[in-house]
Every structure is written in structure tokens, then in C-alpha cells.
Amino acid sequence: MATTLLPKTVYPILTNRPSIPSAHFTTKPPFFSPLDLSPCTKRPSVQTNAKKKNPWLDPFDDGEDPNMEYGSLFTDGKQEEDPRPPDNPDNPYGFLKFPMGFAVELASLPLKIRGDVRRCCCVISGGVYENLLFFPAIQLIKDRYPGVQVDVLASERGKQTYELNKNVRWANAYDPDDEWPEPAEYTDMVGLLKGKRKREEKVLEHMKTTSRYYDMVLSTKLAGLGHAAFLFMTTARDRVSYIYPNVNAAGAGLLLSETFTADSMNLSEGGYNMYHQMVDWLGRPFRSVPRHSVGPLRVSISRKLKKVVAEKYRTAGAEKGKYIVIHGIESDSKASMQSRGDTDSLLPIQVWAEIAKDIRGFKPLLVIPHEKERENVEEVVGDDASIVFITTPGQLAALINDSAGVIATNTAAIQLAGAREKPSIGLFCSKQKGKLFVPNPEEKKCAIVSSKTGKLRDVEVEAVKQAMQIFDMSFALV
């Protein structure tokens, strides 16, 4: 017996159908059939000055209707702290952890109406410097969405930065800049972000399964179709990313909720405010919630780090508060913590030796990124030189915290000095680089010394000597 197949409505793929409130139509539109989704009645006028959403998703969506009237439930104000009980560590499946939308009483109406974000994942491109400059954005997320849990995906070197950030719950080592990742690692990471994952506890044999269902995923990697597909497979509600400023961005907007066109192919060239587009979007006003301003860069240092670093600089012959950190010795080690936006940011040891001789009242403490540099430093500076071997941003922050000041090139040390409110001297290859990476130097107690030739190795040692007065002034105020 032949059965009749009823026609089904076919919706466009990869598009969000705009929700049409019932208030727009007082009566049922004529000639409205399941196969014809466009009513014959005249479309209500919408103000065009409202910010358009991603045009790739729906070219006819002009944004939120300014004349829309909402009720009083979950419409105004910020979200509240998550009322759910904490995870049960003895239960291998966690406690009250369900997929988004599985239980309406848990993943409730505010997630949709007010745009609440309970879990956020940040995919950060770059090394230590780029991850460090994202700290203010993470603090902004915590302020804008109370109770949000923030996780991070970064390179192995960038992951080390998050021992200085208490706002991050989990940090995973995964290099988003790898153009050809291993298929096993790629699929495992997609599965980790999308749903269940396995993570190590105190004992390697004990594996605990838990679920990650993100409401928002942010990415600072310039996205093409490939990276946009990676973010799309996380099934997050909001998928926000930078995209290429050229044809490589083609197709990425189809899979992303919000996009920011980078100013150049290298986002790090923007300096300290390299994430200004994303920060502006995160702090945007929403109904009764005013615009949130981004705060300064701040880091937190654990007691364990301070204890380990104190032992290191005491072994080198330095005392707390009586040494000047020198960072930026020329080396091929990745532990130099340079910025991708300033490749000319390391000085030969011969120049540093001249600068160290002019330091008065404090002991110069030279930081080397690799042990192979120790012999070269001792040969140039002298056997009595105070040298400390530091490779992680956490130890560098603890070393700067106990110092009297910092003299550094454009490395993470100059940003950590501002974060810990220590006086510093920043050496740059040009005035433009100094303005980009250290805006408002007076507020950060930083003296900028730039090269006149455009090459860092030509920086004048006499200018650095004159700038050392900033240490005497700070010491006198203390």
C-alpha cells in the first residue's frame, strides 16, 4: 500500500530565523502556508539606525526592534550568581550537570531573554605577551556577567600566564595558531569543548568525566572558514571572533555570531589596546545595564611563587627591594616573552652591560631565558654579576614584585611592572612603538626611551642613565 508523503517545511541551512512576535499581527495574515514563510501583509517598519547583526546570518535582520515592549521577567539588570549547587567531587558525573536546554528549570529563560552567560571559553592566539594583555578583557567578562565561569585555550607557553589570573577556572594547552593540527588532537579538543571530556586529577589513573556547555566562545585568532568551523562545532550560543581583513575571511561569517575585522594581518601590532574591538563589544550597554569600561592590567601572585623566586634571587646575591630587574637580553629562546607586534625588542648583552654599570644605589639583576646564556653574560658583565634564570611569566612577576624597579625592552616584563605598580624604564625601537605598547606612561610610572634610528640596538645609553632618576624618586616617596 503506497503511503502519501506530506511535504515538510525546509528552512535555510546555517541561518537564524528571526523571531516574529505575535504582537506584530493583529489578525492572521492571508495566504500564509508552511511553504511560504513571507506573509503578504506589509512588513512593519524598523529603524535602520540600530546596529545590524551579522549580515551573513540574515541580511534582512536590522537588529532589535527599539519599540519592542518586554515584561518584567529576566529583562533588565545583570544576571545573578549561578544558584546551582557546586559539583560533587565524589560523583564521576558531577552534580546537576545537564546539556543546555535539557532541563528548563536549570538552563532557564534568562539565558535567552537577557543573554546570560554562565560559561565562557576564550581561545587566545599568541604567546605570553598576547595572553597577558587579554587579562583586562577577562576581568570585564567577570564584571559584566556575575558568576560566569571562564575557561581558556592557549598555546603551551601562553597557558603559563594564567597562574597569574584567579578569574580563570581551567586553562588548556592547545595552539590555535597551528595551521595543521594533529587530527586526533583536533577532534579531541572539539569533543572537550562541545561536551564530555576527561581530565586528570591528583592520581593519573583516576579520570573524571565532566561536561562543558559554553554559552559564549571568544577567539582572538583571525578566523577564516576553518577556524570558524572549529568554533561552530563547540555548539556555543554566541560565537565571537576576529576575522581576516582580506578574502581569507570569506565564509567565516556564516558560522559566527559576531565578527570583528582586524586592522591588519597581525593583531599584535595594535599594542596594549590590541583587543579594543572585542572589549568594546563585551562592555556594550544593554537595556538598563550601562556600558562597562575596561580596567587596568592586574595580576595576582601566589605565595608559592613568591617563595620559589625569593630563593632564586637570594642565591644570586640580591635582597628584596634592593635590586633592579634587567629583562630583554638577546636570545633565541621563546622564554624571552616578546610581543608578536614588535620583533625588534631584544638587546645584545654588550649594551646591557653598559646600562648595568650606570645603576647606582641598587643591584642590577640580569634575567636570562636559557642557561646557555649564563656563560656569555658572565664573560661580558663579569663573574660577580647577579644572574637569575627565569622562564615563566609567574616567576618573572614575582621577581618584579620584590624589586625596586625594572629596566626592560618591549617584553612581558614592562607590562608586569605596570601591573604591579613598579617604576620601570622601557626601551623601544621607535616612539610609535612606545606609545602603542605603553599608553599613559606617567600613570604606570614608566619612562620611555626610544631609538632615534628605528633600531633598538642604537638606543642611547646616556638617555637610559638620565631616565634612572625615576627609581630615586619612587624610593624617596616610599
Residue-level pLDDT, tens digit, the chain, 478 residues = 444 444 444 444 444 444 444 444 343 443 333 333 333 434 343 343 445 566 666 677 776 777 766 666 566 677 777 655 556 666 665 555 544 444 444 455 667 777 888 899 999 999 999 999 999 999 999 999 988 999 999 999 999 999 999 999 999 999 999 988 899 999 988 888 886 443 433 322 333 334 577 899 999 999 999 999 999 999 898 999 999 999 999 999 999 999 999 999 999 999 999 999 999 999 998 877 889 999 999 999 999 999 999 999 999 999 999 999 999 999 999 899 999 999 999 999 999 999 999 898 899 999 999 999 999 999 999 888 899 999 999 999 999 999 999 999 999 999 999 999 999 999 999 999 999 999 999 999 999 999 999 999 999 999 999 999 998 765 443 4
CA distance 301 to 164: 6
Task: Note the pLDDT of residue 76.
Answer: 66
471 contacts 362 by C-beta, under 8 angstroms? yes
Which are the contacts of 91, defined by CB distance < 8 A and separation ≥ 6? none
Element (H, E) at 149: strand 149-154
Domains of the chain: 114-196+210-282 (3.40.50.2000), 303-474 (3.40.50.2000)
CA distance 190 to 127: 22
Task: Note the pLDDT of residue 289.
Answer: 84
CA distance 438 to 324: 20
Nearest to 22 by CA among 69, 75, 72: 69
CA distance 49 to 121: 31
Nearest to 95 by CA among 336, 103, 417: 103
Compute how many other C-beta atoms are within 10 angstroms of the C-beta atom of residue 344. 17
Helices 374-381/349-357 angle, 10° precision? 50
Task: Note the pLDDT of residue 476.
Answer: 40
CA distance 125 to 270: 14
Task: Note the pLDDT of residue 42.
Answer: 40
Task: Note the pLDDT of residue 208.
Answer: 34
**Taking the CA atoms of the chain, what radius of gyration do you get in angstroms?**
27
- How many residues does this entry show for the chain? 478
CA distance 476 to 300: 26
CA distance 181 to 159: 18
Task: Note the pLDDT of residue 213.
Answer: 79
> Taking phi first (over 0 means left), then psi (-120 to 50 degrees means alpha), and beta for anything else, what does residue 232 get?
alpha
Question: β-pairing, 207-211 with 196-200?
Answer: antiparallel
Task: Note the pLDDT of residue 13.
Answer: 44
